[in-house]
Amino acid sequence: MSADFFYGIEVVINGLMAGVLYALVALGFVLIFKASGIFNYAQGVMALFAALTLVGVMEGQVPFSHLINAIFGTEIHHFGWHVPALLAIFLTLLVMVFFAWCVQKFVFRHLVGQEPIILFMATIGLAYFLEGVGDLMWGSDIKTIALGLPQGGSLWLEQATSGLGGDDFYGFFIDKLDIVATLVAAVLVISLIVFAQYTKQGRAMRAVADDHQAALSVGISLNFIWVLVWSLAGLVALVAGVMWGAKSGVQFSLSLIALKALPVLMLGGFTSIPGAIVGGLIIGVGEKLFEFLIGAPFLGGATENWFAYMLALVFLVFRPQGLFGERIIERV
């Protein structure tokens, strides 16, 4: 076996890990889309906002301190305490639930029955709004998350596999953070599935996803379910935000992962949770392999920017509803 072959395998493994992170974002989309038919472009910004809030709470920053200072001429920045990580995560979740409630109360309740494209545009507006609020609340500088997640390459794995590929091969280099992210994502997905299958609220959620009016007529509160779904999406956003934030710092570019999740959704279908995961893995592996085999040697690199979209585009031409999506039936 040549070293190139093993480097290829390493690329595939890293692609799988990246794919898990894409899937994590895509999951939030699917949750909301299934329950309310809203294609939530703001999911990426929600991840950014959740991560910003977590960092802000942990470090005891005063929310809106820049704005307050500008208006009143004061000089406040920090409360001066540090909140332990678990409590901070809990508080951040509360903020996300409150955000979910606000979104439902002030925006989407007034848009029930509008065309999907109008709802989509509204979420773009929401994304801008939330991005601005996040920056105003916590400042726009790059922050680091200090949750104590392991980082850096896994030396143990590198040494254990270094004998495989001869002298040119130094073993698989895999970031420990990616391994943690994979585990967390697996736990999250399993608990979401368990929640949806075996709890009362989960069942109500699936009923709403199936048919709004039928669910309403058996006494399920649509408002409650929508707030619940947005809160769950907030939870997923928090996890995704922490993982991506730990990888590349909490900054504006975090919100762009929403754009990366779009081709994942197109591949997997907008309505399928397994689809989001499989789609994420395919996109993750596909773009890393393409960059490794064709992009970097022949096309000048940075093909990761567009490969996922092209893959999804070509794929959709043959299967317009995605891999696991429900069949599109059109009536005149």
Partner 1 sequence: MFYREAGDFKTSYEADNQTFPIAFDRYRYWAVLAVAYLVIPFIINDYWANAIFVPFLIYAIAAIGLNILVGYCGQVSLGTGGFMAVGAYACYKLMTAFPDVNIVLHVILAGGITAIVGAAFGLPSLRIKGFYLAVATLAAQFFLVWLFNKVEWFYNYSASGQINAPERFVAGVPVTGANTAPWAQYLICLVFLTVCAIVARNLTRGTLGRTWMAIRDMDIAAEIIGVNPLRAKLSAFAVSSFFIGVSGALFFAVYLGAVEVGEAFGIQKSFLVLFMIIIGGLGSIFGSFAGAAFLVVLPVALKVIGVDLLGWPTDIVSHLQLVIVGALIMFFLIKEPHGLAQLWRLAKEKLRLWPFPY
Residues lying near partner 1 in the complex (CB under 8 A) are found at: 39, 66-67, 70-71, 107, 110-111, 114, 116-118, 120-122, 124-133, 135-136, 140, 259, 262-263, 265-266, 270, 299-303, 305-306, 309-310, 312-313, 316-317, 320, 330, 332
Q: Which is nearer to partner 1, 262 or 276 (CB)?
A: 262
Bridge-partner residues for 78, per DSSP?
61
Q: Which is nearer to partner 1, 72 or 198 (CB)?
A: 72
Least CB distance to partner 1 at residue 169 (A): 30
The amino acid at 110: H
Q: Which is nearer to partner 1, 220 or 266 (CB)?
A: 266
The amino acid at 57: V
Q: Which is nearer to partner 1, 135 or 158 (CB)?
A: 135
d(CA 22, CA 277): 8
CB under 8 A, 24+ apart: contacts of 108-115: 108/36, 108/38, 108/226, 109/223
Least CB distance to partner 1 at residue 143 (A): 15
Least CB distance to partner 1 at residue 240 (A): 19
Least CB distance to partner 1 at residue 120 (A): 7
Least CB distance to partner 1 at residue 192 (A): 23
Q: How far is CA 313 from each of CA 28, 52, 232, rounded to the nearest angstrom?
A: 22, 33, 29
d(CA 120, CA 105): 17
Q: Which is nearer to partner 1, 43 or 161 (CB)?
A: 43
Q: Token digits for 302?
A: 């940075």
Q: Is 115 helix (H, G, I), strand (E, B) or coil?
A: coil
DSSP letter string, 215-277: HHHTT--HHHHHHHHHHHHHHHHHHHHHHHHHHH-BSGGGGGHHHHHHHHHHHH-TT-HHHHH
Q: Which is nearer to partner 1, 137 or 181 (CB)?
A: 137
Q: Which is nearer to partner 1, 140 or 162 (CB)?
A: 140
d(CA 201, CA 158): 45
Provide the CB-side half-sphere exposure for 50 (13 A, CA).
Answer: 33
Least CB distance to partner 1 at residue 110 (A): 5
Phi-psi label, residue 328: left if phi above 0, alpha if psi -120 to 50, beta otherwise: beta
CA angle 250, 248, 40 (to 5 degrees): 60
Least CB distance to partner 1 at residue 283 (A): 12
d(CA 260, CA 265): 9
Least CB distance to partner 1 at residue 247 (A): 21
Lookup result for tokens 């649509």? 222
Least CB distance to partner 1 at residue 263 (A): 7
d(CA 24, CA 241): 10
Q: Which is nearer to partner 1, 181 or 267 (CB)?
A: 267
Q: Which is nearer to partner 1, 101 or 170 (CB)?
A: 101
